[in-house]
Amino acid sequence: MKNMPESYWKEKLTPAQYKVLRQKATEPAFLGKYVNTKEKGVYECAACGLILFSSEQKYDSGSGWPSFSDLAAKGVIEFRDDHSYGMYRVEVACKRCGSHLGHVFQDGPTPTGQRYCINSCALNFKPENSEKDTKS
């Protein structure tokens, strides 16, 4: 999916998602739809559907963006050096489609010490019971 043309992403994503996922923008703090979500389930990439995070690792960091202490599985994220805005950060991107998700910081809770600070519009939340409901 990394080789899809930008025209594909412009058609598939909302304008806000396109700005964040494809142009590396950041949504405003405390306004994202998943900042206060406490339901059990999984968070997947809004662009390609790859499961990235679980509610088990979500916590309130006070940063204004959904924060996770770990990934749902190894190998679902790419790490990239980010020197924008005159500072150094580590960008996180979806391994499958290359979309920008947010950044990871080393100030998270134990045991990982990591805080994946992710834009809400880069995610789709699937409640834990949604799969069960569709099978019955």
**Burial grade of 117 (CB within 10 A; 0-12, 13-18, 19 or more):** buried
Catalytic (active-site) positions: 117
Task: For residue 47, report the phi and psi dihedrals to the nearest 5 degrees.
Answer: -85, -45
Q: Which helix (H) or strand (E) holds 6?
A: helix 6-12
Q: Which residue has the tokens 């290359």?
A: 98
